[in-house]
Structure 1
Amino acid sequence: CGHREPHTLPLRFWVNVIKNPQFVFDIHKSSITDACLSVVAQTFMDSCSTSEHRLGKDSPSNKLLYAKDIPNYKTWVERYYRDIGKMPAISDQDMDAYLVEQSRLHANEFNSLSALSELYFYVNKYREEILTAMDRDSYCRKHKLRQKLEQVINMVSSNS
């Protein structure tokens, strides 16, 4: 089972957002909306998947609904990733500068303390797993990210 899906980000992140918009937006999700979003999420997953799905009369209706469109959607997804692959790499400095500028432009649009609190809650909950993963990653070791994260965790926990 060592096969890894190349489109992990959309399958793990975007499908979750599609199926659970209440995570991002302050809305109520009815059972009808939930059923519709499940169809959209399934279509998205099938479009991003590289494996072939054999469909038959026993296949779930949400897979059959857009089955004829999936090959076209798969082509769009492949073209999207191919186009990204052709783009020049962005340097760490350029990325940092972009994030600083975005932060400045949107500084008044959200509650940064609330966001930091949520991030801290998540990091604290999965502390060991995150720190272990950082120990295994050469980039994280090179830049001493584990130590920096531990400093932040200790600082926040001592102030709260």
Structure 2
Amino acid sequence: GRHWIVWILLGCVPLSSLPLRFWVNVIKNPQFVFDIHKNSITDACLSVVAQTFMDSCSTSEHRLGKDSPSNKLLYAKDIPNYKSWVERYYRDIAKMASISDQDMDAYLVEQSRLHASDFNVLSALSELYFYVTKYRQEILTALDRDVSCRKHKLRQKLEQIISLVSSNS
């Protein structure tokens, strides 16, 4: 069996990747999740919170001095305490019992069944299509660069989907 919770939380990548790729993005851009307007003052405040979160999840030590940015100095004395919380969190996850692939699959199928009516598939597909068309070239380039994506011909498959959807629009 695998430590599925660790795989899910870490996204199969190093310790700081999930916080940096997901949570920091959500903290800095709440409009991605909530229907809100973010003004410049809120943006500045969220940047400080995001920076504190990133520093708390970082495994490297940051030397601060009088020339350090103010957003790093603001919570500098709290960072060691936050780092210990993060380390304890991941240590506790590592101690969790493993579950089998079958148990995880069964759990995910059950969750999908329980929440099937909560999810608007057409709305989600529309948002995904909007995102893909907006960042088409960047996504296609990334698919070209990845060996596994090339092996599975994901660029060609995505281009087919884009073509199909755009011709039916």
- Band of TM-score, shorter chain: 0.7 to 0.9
1:11 to partner: Cα distance: 1.1
Deviations along 1:60-116, one digit per CA (max 9) or x if unpaired, are 111111111100100010111111112233433333322222222222223111213
SS of the residue 1:95 aligns to: helix
Q: Which residue of 1 aligns with 2:85?
A: 76
Given the two structures, how large is their TM-score scaled by the length of structure 2?
A: 0.72
Q: Which residue of 1 aligns with 2:114?
A: 105
**For the aligned residues, what is the CA RMSD?**
3.0
Gaps of 5+ in 2: 1-12
Given the two structures, how large is their TM-score scaled by the length of structure 1?
A: 0.76
Q: CA separation of 1:127/1:96 partners in 2, compared to 1, >3 Å: closer, same or farther?
A: farther
Check conservation: 1:18, 1:37, Cα contact below 8 A: yes
Check conservation: 1:47, 1:77, Cα contact below 8 A: yes
Q: CA separation of 1:67/1:30 partners in 2, compared to 1, >3 Å: closer, same or farther?
A: same
Q: Which has the bigger relative contact order, CA under 8 A and spacing at least 6?
A: 2
Report the identity percentage.
Answer: 72
Which segment drifts farther, 77-86 or 13-22? 77-86
SS of the residue 2:60 aligns to: coil
Q: Which residue of 1 aligns with 2:18?
A: 9
Q: CA separation of 1:117/1:89 partners in 2, compared to 1, >3 Å: closer, same or farther?
A: farther
Q: Which residue of 2 aligns with 1:65?
A: 74
Deviations along 1:6-57, one digit per CA (max 9) or x if unpaired, are 3111111110110000011111111111111111001000000001011111
C-alpha separation in 2, matches of 1:5 and 1:149: 26
Gaps of 5+ in 1: none
Q: Which residue of 1 aligns with 2:50?
A: 41
Which segment drifts farther, 112-121 or 38-47? 112-121
Count how many residue pairs are aligned between Structure 1 and Structure 2.
Answer: 150
